[in-house]
Amino acid sequence: MAYQLRPYRFHFFSLVLTIICYNYITDHYGWLISIPISFILILILTSIKITLTINEASISYEMSFLHLSIYRKELSPVEISQIKFFRIRWKTKAAEIKRVKGWNWRVADFGKEEVFDYLLDVANKHQIKVDKTKDYLILEKQNQIEEEKGNG
């Protein structure tokens, strides 16, 4: 299953970077050049797409620009030592895929919460250690109660 990141922070970072570049270019080269360069920078930075794909055999992370892959990394279950589920912000679930070697992957803001169910299924199928914080367990319980109210 493929999930696309909702890049709120990335768009905010893009805006801040564009403002800084605009100010720098305006000071050194004038406003006539800085406007088109800022527009091009915004276009480039907002065209980046991040996708997380979860299969039974692997988990892959891809960053692409206009359908051209910039960065792609694929993890097999052997490379994962643990998956830690936790809460961020008020009611948002998140997970951290801890790798045997290399940097950990943080999974958050991918739109649907079913991404965490798929991660849990992969962990259970391949006997990967799972850790859930108290806050995450509370969110799961709240989601079950809301589902029961919706179905009942």
Rounded distance, CA 124 to CA 111, Å? 23
pTM over 0.75: no
Given this model, what pLDDT does residue 72 score?
93
| pLDDT at 91 (0 to 100) | 85
For 56-90, how does the pLDDT look when each residue is reduced to its tens digit (9 = 90+)?
Answer: 889 998 988 888 899 999 999 999 999 999 998 88
For residues 75 and 97, is the Cβ–Cβ distance under 8 A? yes
Q: What separation in angstroms does the CA of 58 have from each of 15, 51, 82, 128?
A: 34, 14, 14, 13
Please report the pLDDT score of residue 57 as a whole number. 87
Cα 115 from Cα 107, distance rounded (Å): 9
Q: Which residue has the tokens 């009611």?
A: 91
All residue ranges of the chain with pLDDT < 50 are none
CA gap 62, 46 in Å, rounded: 16
